[in-house]
C-alpha cells in the first residue's frame, strides 16, 4: 500500500492574491448595489471600465482556482480531497442558484463563477497530467472558441451554460464554460511553469511569522468561499436598511 500524498502547504502569495481579488469583488458589488438601489444610473456596472473590472476579478479567481488545483494534486490526484472540495463548491453553487431564484426569479444565477469553477475542476482532471503545451493550447482555444463558433442548436435553456449558444436568459451573473474555463486552464499551466522554473519552490519556502501584517492581509484569502457567499447578503441588507432609514 502506498502512502497518501500529503496535502500541500498554503502559499502566502496565493492567499494575498485571493484577498486582493476579494477586495475587488466587494468594491464591484458595492457599486452594483448602488446601481440596483437607484443611486447610480442603470447599466453602470455592465459597460466600460466596470465591466472590464468585473471580468478581471472573475478571471483572477478562476486562474487561482486552476493554479491551486494543479498544486494540490501534484504529483498524484488526491481523490478524497478533490471530491470533498468539489462537493463543497457544487453545494455552494446550488445555494447561490436557489437564493437568487427566491430573491430575483427573473434574473437568478443559473451558471455563475462557482458553477464554472465546479465544472472546470472536473475538466481540469484531464489536464493536470497533460503536457504544458497541450494545456496552453486548450486555454487559448477555450478563450477563442465562442468568437469562432456559436449555434442556435444550443439555445435550449439547459445548454446555454456551455457558452456557445446565440442567446441566453438574463442573469445577475452569467459566466459560461466557454470562454471562462480558459483562465482556469491557464492557472494549471502557470503552476506547471512555476514549478519548472523553481519559482514555486521559493514561494513554498517563503515563511512569515503569524501576527505579521501580511498574514493578517492573507486571512480573507484563506476563507474566500465563505466571504464570497456572505458579502452580498450583508451589503444588500445594509443598503436596504439605509434606504428604509
pLDDT digits (tens, 9 = 90+) for 102-141: 988 999 999 999 999 999 999 999 998 899 999 999 999 9
- Residue 52 clears pLDDT 50, i.e. is over it: yes
- Residue 5 clears pLDDT 80, i.e. is over it: no
Average pLDDT over residues 164-175: 94
Burial class from Cβ neighbours inside 10 Å (0-12, 13-18, 19+) for residue 53 reads middle
> Alpha-carbon distance 63 to 23, whole Å?
16
pTM of the model: 0.92
- Residue 3 clears pLDDT 60, i.e. is over it: no
Q: What mean pLDDT is reported for the chain?
A: 92
Average pLDDT over residues 148-164: 94
- Residue 208 clears pLDDT 80, i.e. is over it: no
Grid cell at residue 110: 443559473
Contacts of 242 (CB under 8 A, 6+ apart): none
CB 67 within 8 A of CB 11: no
Give residue 25's pLDDT band: very low, low, confident or very high (50, 70, 90): very high
Residue 211 has a pLDDT of: 73
Amino acid at each position: 500500500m502506498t502512502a497518501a500524498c500529503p496535502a500541500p502547504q498554503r502559499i502566502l502569495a496565493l492567499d494575498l492574491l485571493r484577498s486582493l481579488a476579494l477586495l475587488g469583488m466587494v468594491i464591484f458589488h458595492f457599486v452594483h448595489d448602488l446601481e440596483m438601489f437607484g443611486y447610480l444610473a442603470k447599466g453602470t456596472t455592465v459597460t466600460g471600465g466596470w465591466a472590464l473590472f468585473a471580468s478581471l476579478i472573475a478571471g483572477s479567481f478562476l486562474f487561482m482556482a486552476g493554479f491551486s488545483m494543479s498544486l494540490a494534486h501534484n504529483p498524484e490526484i488526491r481523490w478524497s480531497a478533490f471530491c470533498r472540495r468539489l462537493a463543497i463548491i457544487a453545494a455552494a453553487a446550488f445555494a447561490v442558484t436557489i437564493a437568487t431564484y427566491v430573491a430575483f426569479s427573473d434574473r437568478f444565477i443559473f451558471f455563475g463563477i462557482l458553477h464554472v469553477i465546479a465544472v472546470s475542476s472536473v475538466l481540469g482532471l484531464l489536464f493536470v497530467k497533460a503536457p504544458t503545451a497541450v494545456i496552453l493550447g486548450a486555454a487559448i482555444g477555450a478563450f477563442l472558441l465562442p468568437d469562432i463558433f456559436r449555434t442556435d442548436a444550443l439555445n435550449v435553456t439547459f445548454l446555454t451554460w456551455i457558452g456557445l449558444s446565440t442567446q441566453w436568459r438574463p442573469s445577475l451573473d452569467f459566466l459560461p464554460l466557454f470562454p471562462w474555463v480558459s483562465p482556469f486552464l491557464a492557472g494549471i499551466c502557470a503552476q506547471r511553469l512555476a514549478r519548472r522554473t523553481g519559482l514555486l519552490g521559493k514561494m513554498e519556502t517563503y515563511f512569515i511569522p503569524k501576527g505579521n501584517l501580511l498574514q493578517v492581509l492573507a486571512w480573507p484569502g484563506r476563507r474566500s468561499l465563505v466571504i464570497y457567499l456572505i458579502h452580498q447578503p450583508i451589503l444588500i441588507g445594509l443598503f436596504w436598511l439605509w434606504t428604509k432609514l
